[in-house]
Amino acid sequence: MGRRPADGDRRRPPGGCARTRLTTTEGEGSDDAPALPARRRALAAGLALALAGSAALVAGPAAAEDDAPSLRARYHFTVPDHWMNDPQRPVVIDGVLHYYYLYNADYDANPRANFGTEWRLATSADGVAFADQGVAAPKGTNANYDLWSGSAVVDHAGTAGFGPGAVVMLVTQMDHPTAAQKLDASGQQAQFLWYSVDGGRTFRPDGDEPVIPGDGRRDFRDPKVVWDDERQRWVALIAERDRVSFYTSPDLHRWTRTGEYVNAGIGTIECPDLFRLRADDGTTHWVMGVSANGYATNEPATYAYWTGSFDGSTFVPDVAAPQWLDHGFDWYGAVTWEDPAAPLERRLAIAWMNNWDYAHGAPTWPRDGFTGTDSITREIRLARAGAGYSLLSAPVDALQDHATHTTALGDVRVDGFTELAYRGDAYEITTRISRQDADNVGFQLRRSADGSRHADAGLTRDYAYLNRAQTGRPDSWKVESRTPLDDADTVELRILVDRTTIEVFVGDGRYTHSSQVFAPSGDQGLALYTSGGPAVFRDLRITEFADLAHVPRASSRTSRATRGARGGRPPAPSPGSVRRRAICAGRRARAWPTRSPGRTPRPASSRRRPSRSTGTRCTS
């Protein structure tokens, strides 16, 4: 995906969830409530609540406005400055995750004056804490102006001719655009080859001519390259509005079109994906995913996927209708990559938490000078579900290595409304909700002192939901997302709250909700509610994390990747530097094993847990 928003049906959804206004507080007193960090406490002297044999806190008088007005996420990845959109699939080099994303240093919140994107790089030891490395593939370097989405691969065998271990990217650019086409991104889309011989830190174009020409196609972008181990060749998936085309190549230069998958019912298809996973029953399946728009059929506009078969030339789904990896409003342009410790058992995923309907309206731009926040990195697995298979999601395990404080409230019984004396704007909630007689049960998140503003995450008898209608949010009709619930008496919820985002993982993770919430900085309250009867929030925990706010290590225009690029191509680094480069983060924490065509992956039993992070940034 480049700078053009996806098409979509703007119809309003059915009316929001009808929930009873909750006004009562019930419970019994206690004096042994667990302490919270001072910056989070809002205790009323002498007030506490004993709940189901454990302790909880009852809110006192409204606390003063928070003293940290920044809206930058504490533990989610954010662009250091200006603009970010599509994630690019990371690659693992020398044990370190290299995460690229589309970046625009010329962004000024005016969509008509944004002069193109380039690839910026952040490195990570665990997929949670990132270190900025500046621009890796600068725009204006060749005749094709800016860089859109694509994918990078580590060419261990040197099939492309740039040497073993070179990092090669196939990326969408406009084919020799005119000055006018540069301004409105209307030039012919085509696929171009760029390469790096310094371990993925800096890229240069392999000439100005495309390796896969657009041949008049209006939408022809977002190539995703994978290695077909069975046939010993490269495969590229390219999004073409209502279809995904398949190409194969022996060397990343010469490509042959081999097939296509067509689906005209999910809007403009972007950012395709293809991988294999072993399900929980031991069977192995191909999965194809795309970013798409399902609003015309009352489905999400996130990541659609199908299980099916791949014969090396095209993909055939098991069933026509897609499943969706997220049902919120802000989980788009997602990329997945194999967990090197268990490449067939699980994958990792990250997405852009924004929506083209309101992409330029985030309050982080006027407040903090940036627009662009990603989801938490999640782990995905494949599991049997009825007659088919579904992907299950959970926050990556490494997130817990950045935990700084956990408040365990035990089992909390609520019959009506209970406000906790916890205040915060960045935390995780985990609980198992025993619904008992309740028709509706959930959390009021980012609650204002007077209770007039809050976002709600909860369960009815029929569905789970995330509702942002009663607090600051994007200017859109997209206020409540829903997913079906079975009739289980107990449902697990895991909720990640950060300064401008909420992510809800329901049950086993088959259904998730990820959406932006623009609550005022001072709205940091938390409450529990039920209607229709009582419910028990079992093993309720609130966890806080270290401040991992992603700030630049250097100006985007003076970073190592861009020095010298304004006058032409960046200087070619020495090929020998690929193996000599040592990145401190990868040496101190989790070692991501590499995998190449023909190389046996490291067994799952060798997976190392990362050490607890101190929040220290890695510099090179």
**Closest by alpha carbon to 394, among 342, 435, 444, 430?**
430
Which of the four pLDDT bands, split at 50, 70 and 90, describes residue 598? very low
Q: What are phi and psi of 186, to 5 degrees?
A: -100, 5
Are 527 and 443 in contact, with CB atoms under 8 Å apart? yes
Is the model more confident about 108 or about 250? 250
Window from 66-75, 76-85, 229-238, 461-470 with minimum mean pLDDT? 66-75
Average pLDDT of 476-490?
A: 93
Window from 109-118, 231-240, 251-260, 451-460 with minimum mean pLDDT? 109-118
Give residue 553's pLDDT.
Answer: 60
Q: What is d(CA 436, CA 347) in angstroms, rounded to the nearest whole number? A: 36
Is 568's pLDDT higher than 90? Answer: no
Is 607's pLDDT higher than 90? Answer: no
Average pLDDT, the chain: 83
Is 16's pLDDT higher than 80? Answer: no
Is 467's pLDDT higher than 80? Answer: yes
Q: What are phi and psi of 557, to 5 degrees?
A: -95, -5
- Report long-range pairs for 8-11 (Cβ below 8 Å, ≥24 apart): 8/267, 8/293, 8/295, 8/296, 8/301, 8/356, 8/357, 9/267, 9/293, 9/295, 9/296, 10/295, 10/357, 10/477, 11/295, 11/296
Q: What counts of helices (H) and strands (E) characterise the chain?
A: 4, 36
> Domain residue spans in the chain?
82-395, 401-545
Average pLDDT of 117-143?
A: 97
Burial call 17-31: b when 16+ CB within 10 Å, e when fewer = bebeebeeeebeebe
The angle formed by the CA atoms of residues 111, 551 and 359, to the nearest 5 degrees, is 25
Q: What is d(CA 118, CA 102) in angstroms, rounded to the nearest whole number? A: 5
Is 532's pLDDT higher than 80? Answer: yes
Give residue 506's pLDDT.
Answer: 98
Give residue 64's pLDDT.
Answer: 31
Residues forming beta bridges with residue 338, ordered by sequence position:
347
Give residue 552's pLDDT.
Answer: 63
Give residue 109's pLDDT.
Answer: 82
What is the three-class DSSP state of 397?
helix
Q: What is d(CA 606, CA 584) in angstroms, rounded to the nearest whole number? A: 21
Residues forming beta bridges with residue 234, ordered by sequence position:
227, 249
Q: What are phi and psi of 111, to 5 degrees?
A: -60, -25
* pLDDT, tens only, 33-56: 333 233 222 222 222 322 333 333
Average pLDDT of 170-198?
A: 96
Average pLDDT of 464-478?
A: 96
Q: If you ran DSSP here, which 8-state letter would residue 394 be given?
A: E
Give residue 1's pLDDT.
Answer: 62
Average pLDDT of 413-420?
A: 98
Which of the four pLDDT bands, split at 50, 70 and 90, describes residue 438? very high
Percent of the chain with pLDDT over 90: 74
Average pLDDT of 82-97?
A: 96
Taking the mean position of all CA atoms in its chain, how far away is CA 367?
A: 22
Is 608's pLDDT higher than 50? Answer: no
Give residue 40's pLDDT.
Answer: 27
Give residue 491's pLDDT.
Answer: 97
Are 466 and 502 in contact, with CB atoms under 8 Å apart? yes
DSSP string, 330-357: S-EEEEEEE-TTSTTT-EEEEEE---TT
Give residue 487's pLDDT.
Answer: 81
Are 531 and 488 in contact, with CB atoms under 8 Å apart? no
Is the model more confident about 391 or about 6? 391
Give residue 591's pLDDT.
Answer: 44
Is the model more confident about 68 or about 376? 376
The CATH class that applies to domain 82-395 reads mainly beta
Is the model more confident about 522 or about 51? 522
Q: If you ran DSSP here, which 8-state letter would residue 600 be given?
A: P
Which of the four pLDDT bands, split at 50, 70 and 90, describes residue 115? confident
Please return the burial class of 186, using the count of CB atoms within 10 Å of its CB with bins 0-12, 13-18 and 19+: middle
- First-to-final CA distance of the chain: 31
What residues are annotated to the active site? 86
Is 208's pLDDT higher than 60? Answer: yes
Q: What is d(CA 293, CA 7) in angstroms, rounded to the nearest whole number? A: 7
Give residue 565's pLDDT.
Answer: 35
Give residue 408's pLDDT.
Answer: 97
Give residue 2's pLDDT.
Answer: 56
> To which residue do tokens 């395990």 refer?
397
Is the model more confident about 62 or about 210? 210
From the CA atom positions of the chain, what is the Rg in Å? 24
Which of the four pLDDT bands, split at 50, 70 and 90, describes residue 69? confident
Is 59's pLDDT higher than 90? Answer: no
Sign, CA dihedral 380-384-385-390, equals positive
Average pLDDT of 300-309?
A: 98
Percent of the chain with pLDDT over 70: 78
Q: What are phi and psi of 183, to 5 degrees?
A: -70, -35
Average pLDDT of 305-314?
A: 98
Window from 143-147, 182-186, 397-401 with minimum mean pLDDT? 182-186
The CATH number of 401-545, from 1.10.540.10, 3.40.50.300, 2.60.120.560, 2.60.40.180, is 2.60.120.560
Give residue 25's pLDDT.
Answer: 28
